């Protein structure tokens, strides 16, 4: 996908969520819902239903299904599409959106364009949490926590019913959870208990080590932070 379109998609999520927060905290959402209820307006619910259908990704996946259908037949295309979902391809695609959007936006704002390896090789080795933190904290983890925080605030102050709330926010919840947990989902032995314990101990040691001149970023959080902001 074009990085520009990726950036627009991710920025659109933030604009939408902050806009919803503004409507909730300012009281406009409550006023609009009351007015719609008194006037028996169903257009808002219809628009949200259409939006939720689009958020499922069915229409964006339709060209792929049509292409595979013309090449292999529609039964094979449908089977491939279902297989992709079982292989959590949607999770990988959503996570890659965050990667592309982060580095594209960073390059636009600060420059420094260079080749970024996408990791297409077959991964058989376990990556520690420290490695995942260094790779994805700025691009995914921080943004995921921001989205979760905004969603919780929106949930606490919302005036709409449960169906309305789910239709509006479920795709954003999916993106936030994907950005937060996909590195562990695709990490070999990522949920093995002994690996979790070892990773936790290694990460705590990395966080507590004092950085400075001559200390590599792999050995100390302070050195890594200084290198990231150099």
On whether both 108 and 213 belong to a single domain, the answer is: no
Q: Provide the pLDDT for residue 210.
A: 82
Q: What share of the chain is helix, strand, coil (3-state, %, to 5)?
A: 75, 0, 25
Specify the pTM. 0.77
On whether both 229 and 143 belong to a single domain, the answer is: no
State which residues form the domain around 210.
Answer: 192-230
Q: Provide the pLDDT for residue 55.
A: 54
CB-CB contact of 209 with 215 (8 Å): yes
Show pLDDT as tens, one digit a residue, over the chain (230 residues): 556 666 777 787 888 888 888 888 887 767 766 666 666 655 655 555 555 555 555 555 677 778 878 888 888 888 888 888 888 888 888 888 888 887 777 777 766 666 655 555 556 778 888 888 888 888 889 999 999 998 898 888 876 666 667 777 888 888 899 999 988 888 888 788 888 899 899 989 998 888 777 788 888 888 888 887 76
**What is the DSSP code string of 145-165?**
HHHHHHHHHHHHH--S-HHHH
Q: Provide the pLDDT for residue 191.
A: 81
Report helix angle 162-185 to 89-110, nearest 10: 80
On whether both 23 and 89 belong to a single domain, the answer is: yes
On whether both 210 and 111 belong to a single domain, the answer is: no
Q: Provide the pLDDT for residue 64.
A: 73
Q: Provide the pLDDT for residue 144.
A: 92
On whether both 219 and 148 belong to a single domain, the answer is: no
Tokens 């927060």 appear where? 21
On whether both 104 and 149 belong to a single domain, the answer is: yes
Q: Provide the pLDDT for residue 221.
A: 86
Task: Express each pLDDT in 133-147 by its tens digit.
Answer: 888 888 889 999 999
On whether both 219 and 230 belong to a single domain, the answer is: yes
Number of domains within the chain? 2
On whether both 183 and 196 belong to a single domain, the answer is: no
Q: Provide the pLDDT for residue 121.
A: 55
């Amino acid at each position: 996908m074009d990085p520009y379109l990726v950036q627009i998609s991710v920025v659109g999520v933030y604009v939408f969520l902050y806009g919803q927060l503004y409507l909730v905290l300012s009281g406009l959402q409550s006023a609009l819902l009351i007015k719609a209820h008194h006037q028996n307006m169903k257009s808002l619910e219809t628009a949200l239903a259409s939006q939720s259908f689009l958020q499922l990704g069915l229409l964006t996946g339709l060209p792929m299904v049509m292409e595979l259908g013309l090449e292999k037949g529609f039964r094979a295309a449908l089977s491939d599409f279902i297989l992709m979902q079982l292989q959590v391809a949607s999770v990988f695609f959503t996570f890659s959106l965050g990667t592309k959007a982060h580095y594209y936006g960073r390059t636009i704002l600060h420059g420094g364009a260079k080749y970024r390896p996408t990791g297409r090789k077959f991964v058989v080795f376990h990556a520690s949490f420290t490695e995942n933190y260094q790779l994805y904290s700025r691009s995914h983890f921080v943004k995921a926590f921001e989205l979760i925080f905004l969603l919780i605030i929106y949930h606490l102050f919302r005036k709409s019913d449960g169906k309305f709330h789910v239709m509006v926010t479920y795709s954003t919840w999916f993106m936030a959870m994907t950005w937060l947990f996909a590195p562990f989902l695709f990490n070999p032995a990522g949920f093995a208990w002994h690996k979790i314990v070892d990773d936790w101990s290694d990460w705590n040691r990395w966080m507590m080590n004092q950085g400075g001149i001559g200390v590599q970023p792999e050995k100390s959080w302070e050195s890594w932070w200084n290198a990231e902001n150099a």
